[in-house]
């Protein structure tokens, strides 16, 4: 594996990172540790994680299996709370789930007895019971259109392909306009072509709405195409953030142009070296 001569974590300043450096942090992890009780005593998954994310940033998180990526994001969604430390959205500690933070899972998590339309409608209705039925239906239609699936509105999940199901779960998450979109390896189960299509769609939706995105991935190329910053975790237990790569490619991004850029391979090799040499994992 080629060793890059420069350290991208130190040398690259993206225009967005420079711009956002002037803004107040939006999502903050402050001295966050998380331990799970086990019969042998507490199992410390994460220890003293500190991270500041700016509004509208697209953050990817990478790290070996079991290092605590989902644990980290679960503290943003509010499914779980830090053992010590704090996760804050603006100035408010996150203590429970809320419609300002929506999660998309790898396994879609759609209700199988409802149609695509009804799955999204249920989310809109639970967050906006005050809206009229016509307004709620309009929101569902708009979001189905946004992921190009108006024709699948009346289909149930088992009648949809993996890519279509993931589009529906993204539409459902976006239908209530969260401030933070949390994606837990959303494209991990999809074939390569569908995965690329969904990456493009996600980027174009993000370009339009600029919600803050936190996404777990195992795919370095995916992270380099999507993210402003790539957070690289150390191995657990007691995992932490090892390094953060700034991804400098201008937006809107063009996959072909990025892949022709020598910097792409510099960053890719740097991340590969980090994961498979410096933080190599015995099990992989």
Ligand X SMILES: Nc1ncnc2c1ncn2[C@@H]1O[C@H](COP(=O)(O)OP(=O)(O)OP(=O)(O)O)[C@@H](O)[C@H]1O
The span from the CA of 230 to the CA of 201, in Å, is 20
Q: For the CB of residue 89, give the shortest distance to ligand X in the complex, in Å.
A: 20
Return the SS3 of 34.
strand
The span from the CA of 199 to the CA of 30, in Å, is 30
Q: For the CB of residue 264, give the shortest distance to ligand X in the complex, in Å.
A: 24
Q: Interface with ligand X includes 119 (CB under 6 A)?
A: no
Q: Interface with ligand X includes 76 (CB under 6 A)?
A: no
Round to the nearest angstrom and report the end-to-end CA distance of the chain.
17
Q: Interface with ligand X includes 276 (CB under 6 A)?
A: no
Strand ranges for 7-119 from DSSP E: 27-36, 43-53, 58-62, 84-89, 92-93, 101-105
Q: Interface with ligand X includes 207 (CB under 6 A)?
A: no
Q: Interface with ligand X includes 65 (CB under 6 A)?
A: yes
> How many C-beta atoms surround the C-beta of residue 215 within 10 A?
24
Q: Interface with ligand X includes 162 (CB under 6 A)?
A: no
Tell me the window of 68-76, 115-123, 126-134, 173-181 that interacts with ligand X (CB under 6 A): 68-76
Q: What is the total count of residues that contact ligand X (CB under 6 A)?
A: 12
Backbone angles phi, psi at 105, to 5 degrees: -100, 160
Which of 66, 97 has the CB closer to ligand X?
66
> Which residues, numbered 31-50, are part of the site for ligand X (CB under 6 A)?
36, 43, 45
Q: Interface with ligand X includes 149 (CB under 6 A)?
A: no
Q: Interface with ligand X includes 271 (CB under 6 A)?
A: no
> Which residues, numbered 217-246, are part of the site for ligand X (CB under 6 A)?
236
Q: Interface with ligand X includes 188 (CB under 6 A)?
A: no
The span from the CA of 7 to the CA of 3, in Å, is 10
Edge-to-edge order in the sheet of strand 229-233:
101-105, 180-184, 212-216, 58-62, 229-233, 241-246
Tell me the window of 2-10, 65-73, 93-101, 135-143 that interacts with ligand X (CB under 6 A): 65-73
Where along the sequence are the contacts to ligand X (CB under 6 A)?
A: 36, 43, 45, 63, 65-71, 236
């Amino acid at each position: 594996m080629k060793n890059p001569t420069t350290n991208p974590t130190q040398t690259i300043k993206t225009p967005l990172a420079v711009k956002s450096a002037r803004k107040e942090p939006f999502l903050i992890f402050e001295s966050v540790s998380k331990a799970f009780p086990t019969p042998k005593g507490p199992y410390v998954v994460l220890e003293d994680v500190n991270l500041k994310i700016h509004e509208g940033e697209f953050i990817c998180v990478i790290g070996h299996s079991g290092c605590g990526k989902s644990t980290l994001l679960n503290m943003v969604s509010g499914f779980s709370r830090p053992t010590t430390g704090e996760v804050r959205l603006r100035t408010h500690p996150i203590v429970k789930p809320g419609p300002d933070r929506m999660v998309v899972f790898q396994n879609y998590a759609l209700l199988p007895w409802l149609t695509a339309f009804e799955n999204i409608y249920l989310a809109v209705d639970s967050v906006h019971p005050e809206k009229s039925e016509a307004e709620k239906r309009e929101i569902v239609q708009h979001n189905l259109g946004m992921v190009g699936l108006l024709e699948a509105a009346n289909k149930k999940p088992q009648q949809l392909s993996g890519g279509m199901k993931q589009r529906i779960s993204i539409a459902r998450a976006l239908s209530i306009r969260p401030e933070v979109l949390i994606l837990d390896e959303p494209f991990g189960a999809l074939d390569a072509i569908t995965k690329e299509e969904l990456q493009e769609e996600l980027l174009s939706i993000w370009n339009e709405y600029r919600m803050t995105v936190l996404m777990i991935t195992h795919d370095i190329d995916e992270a380099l195409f999507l993210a402003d910053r790539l957070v690289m975790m150390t191995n657990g237990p007691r995992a932490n953030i090892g390094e953060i790569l700034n991804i400098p490619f201008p937006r809107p991004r063009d996959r072909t142009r990025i892949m022709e850029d020598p910097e792409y391979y510099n960053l890719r090799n740097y991340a590969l070296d980090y994961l498979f040499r410096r933080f190599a994992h015995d099990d992989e």
